[in-house]
Structure 1
Amino acid sequence: MTDLLLFASIGLMTALVFVVKQFRQEQSQHVIVQQRLKESRDAEQASETMIQQLEQENYRLNQDRELLKQQSEKLYKDIEKEIEQETKELKERIRQLEELNYQLSQENQELKIVKPVETKSIPEQDGLIILRASERDFYPNERSEILLDVLKDSLRNVRENSRRQHIIADIVSNNSFESKREKIKAELQELFRDYRDMSRSTRKALERMGFEIVSENNHYKLIFQKDNRYMVAFAKTTSDWRAGRNIVGHISNLLL
């Protein structure tokens, strides 16, 4: 009986030792699992932190890029405005210089053709006829060319072999000028050949020729050499194919 109890006690102790050992092994494995779970959570948290940092950095980069883009666009617009302003000022300066050059040219022509005379008597000098005039040339030799045309027309109405005919014919035959008037007329005909509205190129060409363009309601007014006596008005837009020819006709009758 004692041996049986001893044997049972030994068996129980052995079983207990095995259970304790098994428990410790399971506990150790549990600790390892917990440790790995903790490491996994830490790694996941670190990854999330890194992702957040990357997202924040990306946001800052996008903000910097947008700011740089806005600054670049502003700089470009500022430069564009500056260039536009300088170009406008340069064009205005060129226009002023061209106008001054034209005025000086006209004054030079006037000095060559119509010499100012202070005395009442004008002596004849080597066949030169000097006349007083207050009107100025709007283009080179304008007045001389007009006078020659008038004299040519008058030859049709004078008596044959009369003194009047001889003097007029002599003046006409001894004076000739390159017809600037015909060049102006030809250029106007080309500009208004297919006129429908005032294009930018047409406007520039007219201004270069000495016309000021005034816009009023549905009409344009062309003022030649800033002299309001010489003004032609016409519609801004037209569907009539003859409109351009009519405009040139009005300008020619008034100016040329």
Structure 2
Amino acid sequence: MQFFSTDFPLKTGTAQLDILSECVNWVTDSPHTKFAQEDLAQYVEQKDFKVSIKGESIDFEWVADTEYTISSFIYSKSDRNYKWVTVVNFLVLNHTDEVWVNIKTYCNSISAAAVVPPIKKPVLIIRLIDRFGGGRDGAITLSHEAFDLGQSDLDVASKLILGDCDNRLPIVYLSRSHNDYLPVIPQRLARKLCGLAHVFVEPNRQFSQALRPLVKSRNVYGGVIGVYWPNDGGVKTYRRTSEMSTAKDFEDVIFLDVSELLSKRIPLRRCTREAVVETKNRIAIDELKKRGSADLNEYSELFDQDLKAKEDEIETLKSEVSRLQGVSKRLRAQTPIQGGIRLSTGDEDDFFTNEIIGVVLDGLLDYRTRVHEGSRRQHIIDALITQNVIERESASIASKLKETLRGYREMTQKVRSKLQELGFEISEDSKHCRLLYQGDERYTFTLPKTGSDNRGGLNAGSDMIKSFL
């Protein structure tokens, strides 16, 4: 079974019947439904209903007490191979008019031979947010647009990263590379993740450096994307690799990962179909007590229904416990208990993946040649080298730099573009080109505008590799 689930707030004051109306419109606007608008218009009112047509059905229930109103809209569609079900639960808090929506979609295979297709994000999510607007998720207002942080928003960014915004949805933080490049298109990613996460974009690399001491180095940087999960759920980092040929490929990786993790999370306690049944039963039992009913059958039937709702809730909680055990296991695996080490990098950040640890390992390899054979130091160094096998991006960068400068004669547009891709900013004076590496003034190199011989470019490349890599 394929499964998708998320919950999100709508604008405060959004009416229950308006949400129901949009759910009905979503069904009838589909080119794959047999339901017509006139068939369902009569049901958009405050009462339960069930309606079906060949291969399709809609089941709506709602309940209200003094604190909240809960509604549950279930649409299912079957064909020869699959049964698709979308459940839309919406909760209105009566005293504040806050509104939360939980949307679940799943697909079951009817035919044993059928392969269940992947679940897509329901279009209904963006329809609801577009029509009614996003609500308050703690200190954040839900939006289908990315939030651009300004230079004065360091306090905001630190609260987002440290989990001080009381939000339920995760924070997707887009850091800038050393030339202020972003590996995704922020607005497209934000719309893709609308209803699943909040997307924030830092303004520049300097902002990242200023933010670092405020969050005890918990912020991602250098073009890395971090997904910060609320309630100290940790952070997961994403780097664009060579397998992701386009920004959209990278965005899809993040979307699928966030979707999977959200779908394993327990929904809001009262924003479920089980909560509708449980509240109805509680109200009915209270009514029987007020009437002084002694009919055991009435009580028995209601208690059975209530027990079933409780059992369903227990199964949901078991699933959440299982998910949290998996998260805990991963965190334990990352945390040294005994014999692990942590090194502070001070003011230095990675310019590329595994740069700093690569330098440390290179230093260990060099030092190993100078320790006594069979000594304790040699054994420790061997263990560190063996247990820390990393991908060496520096070798790839060095190879590309040599190839770019091989036979260099002049600063053509092609050479300029390739150098910029490798992290160089290029400025020109009358006779030379000044190369600034990763925006750091400590690392500059001068190239002539025109090369004097075939070896000049390779020699320059070798010098740059020694200085920068």
Q: TM-score, normalised by structure 1?
A: 0.54
Q: 1:104 to 1:238 in 2, by over 3 A?
A: closer
Aligned counterpart, 1:192: 405
Query: By how many angstroms is 1:124 displaced?
Result: 5.4
Report which of the two has the higher share of strand: 2
Q: Secondary structure at the match of 2:428?
A: strand
After the TM superposition, which of the residue ranges 208-217 and 151-160 deviates more from structure 2? Answer: 208-217
Aligned counterpart, 1:97: 182
Q: Secondary structure at the match of 2:368?
A: helix
Distance 1:230 1:106 in 2: 25
Letter paired with 2:376: R
Distance 2:391 2:407 in 1: 28
Query: By how many angstroms is 1:102 displaced?
Result: 6.3
Distance 1:228 1:106 in 2: 25
Note the residue ranges of structure 1 that are not aligned, 5 or more in a row.
1-93, 113-122
Distance 1:107 1:242 in 2: 43
Aligned counterpart, 1:203: 416
Q: Secondary structure at the match of 2:342?
A: coil
2:461 is the counterpart of 1:248: yes
Letter paired with 2:455: R
Highest relative contact order (Cα 8 Å, sep 6+), 1 or 2? 2
Whether the aligned pair in 2 keeps the contact of 1:106 and 1:136 (CA below 8 Å) is: no
Distance 1:136 1:246 in 2: 28
Q: How does 1:211-230 map to 2 (within 5 A)?
A: 211-230=424-443
2:261 is the counterpart of 1:176: no
Letter paired with 1:97: L
Larger radius of gyration: 1
CA deviation map 1:46-78 (0-9, x unaligned): xxxxxxxxxxxxxxxxxxxxxxxxxxxxxxxxx
Query: By how many angstroms is 1:208 displaced?
Result: 1.4
Query: By how many angstroms is 1:195 displaced?
Result: 0.5
CA deviation map 1:137-194 (0-9, x unaligned): 0000000011001100111000011111111111001111111000001001110111
Distance 1:127 1:215 in 2: 51
Count of residue pairs brought into register by the alignment: 152
Aligned counterpart, 2:268: none
Report which of the two has the higher share of helix: 1
Distance 1:106 1:189 in 2: 29
Letter paired with 1:105: V
Distance 1:164 1:102 in 2: 34
Q: How does 1:27-176 map to 2 (within 5 A)?
A: 96-98=181-183, 103-105=222-224, 125-134=337-346, 135-176=348-389
Q: 1:153 to 1:181 in 2, by over 3 A?
A: same
Q: TM-score, normalised by structure 2?
A: 0.30
Q: CA RMSD in A?
A: 2.8
Q: 1:210 to 1:180 in 2, by over 3 A?
A: same
